[in-house]
Amino acid sequence: MVSDKDPSTDRAARHDPIYDAMAESPEFKELRHRYRAFVFPVTVAFLAWFLLYVVMSNWAESFMAQKVVGNINVALVFGLLQFVTTFLIAYAYSRYSATRLDPLADQLLHVYEEETR
């Protein structure tokens, strides 16, 4: 189905012009850069770590079955470390966000609120 509407007017009806202008500002671009600089590498690292756990569980069964202490084997340690890693990432992101993202986001929010008055 082909629309007779002009895409630029349709976009303007859906978006706040003040937000659109702010999205082009250097501060907003810096905020997005800082966010992506943390999230993308950490996500890739965590997925690689999880994939290592899955691959080792499938193709290195004898290694994963080795006892570490009592009935606790390497596979169980790796599995529990997945949870530890998740909580460490959440903690690291919280600290990163509080120091590197939130101050800039608060500044942008203040500018947005001033513009909408």
> Per-residue DSSP letters for 16-78?
-HHHHHHHTSHHHHHHHHHHHHHHHHHHHHHHHHHHHHHHHHHH-HHHHT-EEETTEEHHHHH
pTM for this entry:
0.79
**Token duo for residue 26:** 């250097």
**Token duo for residue 32:** 């997005």
The predicted model gives 15-29 an average pLDDT of 87
Q: 102: pLDDT confidence band, cut at 50, 70 and 90?
A: very high
Q: Are 111 and 19 in contact (CB under 8 A)?
A: no
Higher per-residue pLDDT: 2 or 87: 87
Least confident range of 3-7, 82-86, 95-99? 3-7
